[in-house]
Chains A and B, each alone.
Chain A
Amino acid sequence: MVDTLVIPLLKIVIVLNATLVAVTYMVLLERKVIAWAQSRLGPMRVGPYGILQPVADAVKLMIKEDITPVRADKWVFTAAPIISMVPALIVYAVIPFGPKITLFGRQVSLYITDINVGLLYIVSVASVGVYGIILAGYASNSKFPLLASLRASAQLISYEVAVTLTLVSVILMAGTLSMVGIVDAQYNQHVWYVIAQPVAFVLVLIGGLAETNRAPFDLPEAEQELTGGFHTEYSGMRFALFFLAEYANMIVVSSVVTTLFLGGWLPPFPNTPALHFLYAIPSWIWFFLKSFFFLYVFIWVRATLPRYRYDQLMRLGWKVLIPLAILNLVVTGIVKVMLM
């Protein structure tokens, strides 16, 4: 009873709440980091150094008027932000924050579940989120959002092909689709996949930026061109859902990259006996540190780079990333067969 119901439920509640808090604080982190990059201070008014800013943001967004444009498709318009947000949250079900540990004399795993098709689950659930954006642009019945959602669908679909193809080479390496299994494989093979699969690492990182609509691939919401893109007509909490979904997706991408390429919860060089003192730091802290690094990179990139143009983005996707992904897959396969 306790093992089958109470603990999983408890874990779900913890992960869900932690995610939502993390997401709101991601917004603050982004504002702060970008501000520092731009020689500003960022939010400073709400709480010391602005640390309560997310609370103020949340309250503001909740009490704002929630407008549905008269000519919008009401049901789809309401459903779109939910379709965006929900997949971004349920992906966390298979992300392993740590291995099995003993807590109060009971074996507890630091992940909600470990299914044997974990990676496939992430890829497929994450792609449902795209519908949110497409439907939002379509339902708004407005020209700028429509253009943005066309961009979004083209972009997300083409980058998903590249990312998924790249993930296959990781799966080949690990011989499993389970997220926990992939981390174990990196332990058993004595190598983080960022070293074994550097091309795949870069491809997934770029593809991840594109799939989360982050700069320099933030075309669907390019403020300077499309005045906010697909969420132009949204306000209040519905807008907030899109906003949170974007940040939740960012965390998902960094977690997935961490798990696949940086050994998830493992400390650096896990098999070197001389560095075994690193195990003193709890596994989940390693996981968060690594994920945090990628989140920081995402923000850093946004502060630095200009935005790609639509056609250049598609060219990069289809002519560079996808061929590279296929090549990487083929080479991985050949090497693997030869080593056997």
Chain B
Amino acid sequence: MATPTVHHGAMFDTNELVINMGPQHPSTHGVLRVVLRLDGEKVVDADVVIGYLHRGIEKLSENRNWTQIVLLTDRMDYVAAATNNVGYCETVEKLMQVEVPRRARYVRTILCELQRIASHCLWVGTHAMDIGAMTVFLYAFRERELILDLFEEFCGARLTYNSMRIGGLPQDLPPGWDKKVLQFCDIMDSKVAEYEELLTHNRIWLERTKGVGVILGEEAVALGLSGPPLRGSGVPRDVRKDEPYAAYGEVQFDVPIGTSGDTYDRYLVRLEEFRQSLRIIRQATEGIPEGPIVGKVPRLIKPAAGETYHAIESPKGELGYFIVSDGKSTNPYRFRVRPPSFCNLQALRRLVKGHLIADVVALIGSLDVVLGEVDR
């Protein structure tokens, strides 16, 4: 970056234009603010400003009892609330060494994967919309609606589900629910092909995404990327595969990885994840065992003193919970989340440098951040 020359007597520096993208901008996906320093349309530097949606969920959690925290976790990644619930409950179960019944683990797997598809639907829609293809957005929301209906039938809510309990599930599956899930899988198969038809080989889409925001292997790891952005960079890291939780150890699936680490590869990885998720859902739904839905959990949850970290693969990446219990009170002593969106967002500054304004929105979209989770 050339140092800007100072014109004595001139009122403004004419080399760079500083613009504020956000916090109220149609493509920053919430309240993200990016301060761009532009040379013409070229981004010289970008400052990512966060915190507009901070609600202090971690601190709040330290003043709630263990069961109440489940619904606070809904509000982090609010487009993928079920995975947040699962992550938290599993962490507490790990801390308390509670055995979760197999049926509950299978249902959790199904819910997590449905949630992944819902979250990716939202992503593919908004990402395509940012690049100007607005039809995909409505198509993707149409399918997301089907998933929300399934969730509504299971737990009554459509966005913030509060769908897990420590030790298992709040209630058993409604009758016939599994049939509907399988039906949904059949519908979704053709719909993913539809998104692909609109985008994957579209010349403009290729030009807009190929070679944009390249980040590869080591650097991606060093920046703390996880989830699809990391896998798009060619690192085969997936918590579901590497440290299986719920019922992921008992189902077959592949972890798609990219080769060139650009926006297009991140797009392909997520699209393939649609298919892999459907594969997991089919296996889990067909193999769902009978049995209890809640493990042996004391009525008053009060884990013994100790600390634990547990991570799951949320749609955005590695979602980790670090929880400390002092063994005396009925609330956590320390509650800390490793939010994938927050860590992935770190890469934005590195990615946008040297690209054009139009690429900034494409890159924000391709990192797939949710500000509720970034700010917590």
Interfacial residues of chain B within 125-140, with CB under 8 A of chain A in the complex: 128-135, 138-139
In the complex, whether B52 has a CB less than 8 A from a CB of chain A is: no
In the complex, whether A216 has a CB less than 8 A from a CB of chain B is: yes
CB nearest neighbor in B for A151: B41
* Least Cβ–Cβ distance between A163 and chain B, in angstroms: 20
In the complex, whether B290 has a CB less than 8 A from a CB of chain A is: no
Given contacts A224-B130, A225-B361, A227-B26, A309 and B207 within 8 Å (CB-CB): yes
Given contacts A38-B139, A147-B41, A308 and B207 within 8 Å (CB-CB): yes
In the complex, whether B359 has a CB less than 8 A from a CB of chain A is: yes
In the complex, whether B193 has a CB less than 8 A from a CB of chain A is: no
Are A38 and B19 in contact (CB-based, < 8 A)? Answer: no
Q: How many inter-chain contacts with C-beta < 8 Å in the A-B complex?
A: 84
In the complex, whether B353 has a CB less than 8 A from a CB of chain A is: no
CB nearest neighbor in A for B24: A227
* Least Cβ–Cβ distance between B322 and chain A, in angstroms: 36
Task: Tell which of B102-110, B197-205, B242-250, B270-278 binds the partner.
Answer: B197-205
In the complex, whether B357 has a CB less than 8 A from a CB of chain A is: yes
In the complex, whether A307 has a CB less than 8 A from a CB of chain B is: yes
**Per-position contact with B for A26-43: 1 when CB-CB < 8 Å, else 0?**
000000001001111000
Given contacts A39-B139, A224-B27, A306 and B128 within 8 Å (CB-CB): yes
**Per-position contact with A for B37-58: 1 when CB-CB < 8 Å, else 0?**
0100100000000000000000
Residues of chain B contacted by A39 (CB below 8 angstroms): 138-139, 142
Q: How far is the CA of A306 from the CA of B128 in the complex (A)?
A: 7
In the complex, whether A310 has a CB less than 8 A from a CB of chain B is: yes
**Per-position contact with B for A207-227: 1 when CB-CB < 8 Å, else 0?**
000000001101100111111
Q: How far is the CA of A226 from the CA of B356 in the complex (A)?
A: 12
Are A226 and B132 in contact (CB-based, < 8 A)? Answer: no
In the complex, whether A276 has a CB less than 8 A from a CB of chain B is: no
Q: How far is the CA of A310 from the CA of B133 in the complex (A)?
A: 16
Q: Point out the residue from A40, A215, A304 that lies within 8 Å of B138, measured CB to CB.
A: A40
Q: How far is the CA of A38 from the CA of B138 in the complex (A)?
A: 6
Are B139 and A305 in contact (CB-based, < 8 A)? Answer: no
Given contacts A307-B204, A309-B208, A310-B41, A143 and B135 within 8 Å (CB-CB): no
Q: Point out the residue from B25, B205, B359 that lies within 8 Å of A306, measured CB to CB.
A: B205
Interfacial residues of chain B within 1-44, with CB under 8 A of chain A in the complex: 17, 19, 25-27, 38, 41
In the complex, whether A20 has a CB less than 8 A from a CB of chain B is: no
Are B17 and A143 in contact (CB-based, < 8 A)? Answer: yes
Given contacts A223-B26, A224-B361, A225-B361, A306 and B17 within 8 Å (CB-CB): no
Given contacts A227-B26, A307-B204, A309-B207, A38 and B358 within 8 Å (CB-CB): no
Interface centre among B17, B25, B135, B205 (most CB of A within 10 A): B135
* Least Cβ–Cβ distance between B21 and chain A, in angstroms: 9
In the complex, whether A303 has a CB less than 8 A from a CB of chain B is: yes
CB nearest neighbor in A for B130: A224
Interfacial residues of chain A within 131-188, with CB under 8 A of chain B in the complex: 143-144, 147, 151
In the complex, whether A311 has a CB less than 8 A from a CB of chain B is: yes
Given contacts A38-B139, A39-B139, A39-B142, A304 and B27 within 8 Å (CB-CB): no
Interfacial residues of chain B within 193-227, with CB under 8 A of chain A in the complex: 198-199, 202, 204-205, 207-208
Other than the given A39-B142, A305-B133, A311-B41, 9 more pairs (CB < 8 A) read A34-B134, A223-B26, A224-B26, A224-B132, A226-B357, A306-B202, A306-B204, A308-B208, A310-B358
Q: Which B residues are closer than 8 A to A by beta carbons? A: 17, 19, 25-27, 38, 41, 128-135, 138-139, 142, 198-199, 202, 204-205, 207-208, 356-361
| Contact sample, A vs B, 16 pairs, CB 8 Å cutoff | A39-B142, A215-B132, A219-B358, A224-B27, A224-B129, A224-B130, A224-B361, A225-B27, A226-B357, A304-B135, A306-B133, A307-B133, A307-B358, A309-B356, A309-B358, A312-B207
Q: Which A residues are closer than 8 A to B by beta carbons? A: 34, 37-40, 143-144, 147, 151, 215-216, 218-219, 222-227, 303-312
